[in-house]
Amino acid sequence: QQQVRQSPQSLTVWEGETAILNCSYEDSTFDYFPWYHQFPGESPALLIAIRPVSNKKEDGRFTIFFNKREKKFSLHIADSQPGDSATYFCAASKGGNQGKLIFGQGTKLSIKP
Amino acid sequence: EAAVTQSPRNKVTVTGGNVTLSCRQTNSHNYMYWYRQDTGHGLRLIHYSYGAGNLQIGDVPDGYKATRTTQEDFFLLLELASPSQTSLYFCASSDPDGAEQFFGPGTRLTVL
CATH code, B30 = 2.60.40.10
Q: What is the pLDDT of residues B20-30, one digit of tens each?
A: 999 999 999 99
Distance CA B63, CA B82 (A): 9
A20-55 exposure pattern, b = at least 16 Cβ within 10 A, e = fewer: ebbbbbeeeebebbbbbbbeeeebbebbbbbeeeee
**Mean pLDDT, rounded, of chain A:** 93
Beta-carbon contacts of B72 under 8 Å, excluding residues fewer than 6 positions away, are B24, B25, B26
Contacts of B6 in chain A (CB under 8 A): none
Query: Which residue range forms the structural domain that includes residue B50?
Result: 4-111
Q: Is A46 touching B (CB cutoff 8 A)?
A: yes
Contacts of A1 in chain B (CB under 8 A): 59
Considering only CB atoms, A43 lies closest to which of B90, B94, B97, namely B90
Please name the fold of domain A4-112.
Immunoglobulin-like (2.60.40)
End-to-end CA distance of chain A: 40
DSSP one-letter code for A104: -
- When pLDDT is cut at 50, 70 and 90, the band that residue B97 belongs to is confident
Name the least confident of A29-33, B65-69, B89-93.
A29-33
Residue in B with minimal Cα distance to A104: B42
Q: Is A6 touching B (CB cutoff 8 A)?
A: yes
Average pLDDT score over residue span B48-65: 95
Rounded to the nearest 10°, the torsion over CA B38, B75, A33, B42 is 0
Q: Is the pLDDT score of B96 beyond 80?
A: no
Domain boundaries, chain A: 4-112
Mean pLDDT by runs of 10 across the 113 residues of chain A is: 87 98 94 95 95 93 96 97 97 76 94 95
Q: Is the pLDDT score of B85 beyond 90?
A: yes
Domain count, chain B: 1
Q: Is the pLDDT score of B39 beyond 60?
A: yes
User: For strand B10-13 and strand B107-111, is the pairing parallel, antiparallel, or unpaired?
Assistant: parallel
Contacts of A43 in chain B (CB under 8 A): 90, 103-106
H/E stretch holding A66 reads: strand A62-67
- Short-list A8, A37, A15, CA closest to B43: A37
pLDDT of residue B1: 59
